Amino acid sequence: MAGVLDGEECRENLIGGVDDHVHTAFAMSKAAAPIRLVETVKKQSSKWRKLQDRVFDRFCWQSGYARFAVSPSNLERLRGYILNQKRHHRKMTFQEELRILLLKHGIEFDEWCVRN
């Protein structure tokens, strides 16, 4: 994923996650369209993952994604959040985490999308 983001001129990558999802933080290129960037990252990282081991032949990303802007003053806090995902998810599921983030940022959502 870092290589794809670098190739799209999105710098200062930080990537972390657990078995069922991943978080990334990066400075987005001014030339990048968000939806195209997500599609490229998913497509290229999926190809890479499948080449690593036949166990991942059926690997695929979910269809959706969530994207949030973060102010420079919150970058260190975000860094800690991403790097501590394993510990964080001992206390809550991905769905609970997503619901909290969406509500915190005032984003309307369909509960079906969060569950699936």
- The full DSSP string for 16-48 is EEETTEEEEEEE--TT--HHHHHHHHHHHHHHH
Domain residues for the domain of 53 are 2-115
Number of independent structural domains in the chain? 1
Arithmetic mean of pLDDT over the chain: 90
Q: Per-residue pLDDT tens for 2-11?
A: 999 999 999 8
pLDDT of 116 > 80? The answer is no
With tokens 């190739």, the residue in question is: 7
pLDDT of 86 > 80? The answer is yes
Q: pTM score, two decimals?
A: 0.79
Determine the pLDDT at residue 56. 85
